[in-house]
């Protein structure tokens, strides 16, 4: 399946399509997406099939914050038909300012949960989690580096 996107025309497998049955906050009218790489791994892109202007940079949140925790509500697990942790993939949306990419932020409060087995996806909002929608990536990486050094020192 060929799809025209903000990243150019892309060939994708229809079986890899993600379905957001309720859309996402602010994009409720869009339901069908897929994840692509444009060579900037670990940053991937959540691309809308229905609106070629929508492509959101996403990343595995544990790359940025090693001690990140996600609590998927029971209702979301049922809606996505999650049977076990192997079904789950978690992504966080990045905001990358064109003029200052070093001020990139990550939304840790509202992760995207994907059931990799059936392609169902949902953005959940973890209210009262202590996470915000704009954590500076460079600060989180520095924090994670300190945590990793401490864990390594404690283990050694």
Per-residue pLDDT tens digits for 53-78? 999 999 999 999 999 999 999 999 99
Q: Is 42 helix (H, G, I), strand (E, B) or coil?
A: coil
Q: Which residues contact 116 (CB under 8 A, 6 or more apart)?
A: 87, 88, 89
In the chain, domain spans: 2-155
Question: Residue 44: its pLDDT value, please?
Answer: 94
Residues with pLDDT less than 70, the chain: 40
Question: Residue 156: its pLDDT value, please?
Answer: 75
Question: 2-155, what's its fold?
Answer: BH3618-like (2.30.290)
Question: Residue 1: its pLDDT value, please?
Answer: 83
Alpha helices in the chain (DSSP H): 61-64, 74-80, 137-155
DSSP structural state of residue 67: T
Evaluate whether 119 touches 19 at the Cβ level (below 8 Å): yes
């Amino acid at each position: 399946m060929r799809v025209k996107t903000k990243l150019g025309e892309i060939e994708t497998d229809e079986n890899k399509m993600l379905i957001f049955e309720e859309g996402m906050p602010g994009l409720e009218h869009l339901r069908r997406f897929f994840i692509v790489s444009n060579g900037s791994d670990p940053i991937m892109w959540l691309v809308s099939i229905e609106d070629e202007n929508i492509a959101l940079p996403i990343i595995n949140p544990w790359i940025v914050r090693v001690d990140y925790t996600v609590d998927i509500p029971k209702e979301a697990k049922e809606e996505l038909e999650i049977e076990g942790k192997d079904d789950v993939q978690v992504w966080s949306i990045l905001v990358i300012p064109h003029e200052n990419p070093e001020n990139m932020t990550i939304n840790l409060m509202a992760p995207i949960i994907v059931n990799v087995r059936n392609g169902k996806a949902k953005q959940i909002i973890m209210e009262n989690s202590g996470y915000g929608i704009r954590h500076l990536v460079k600060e989180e990486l520095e924090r994670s580096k300190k945590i990793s050094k401490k864990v390594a020192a404690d283990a050694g």
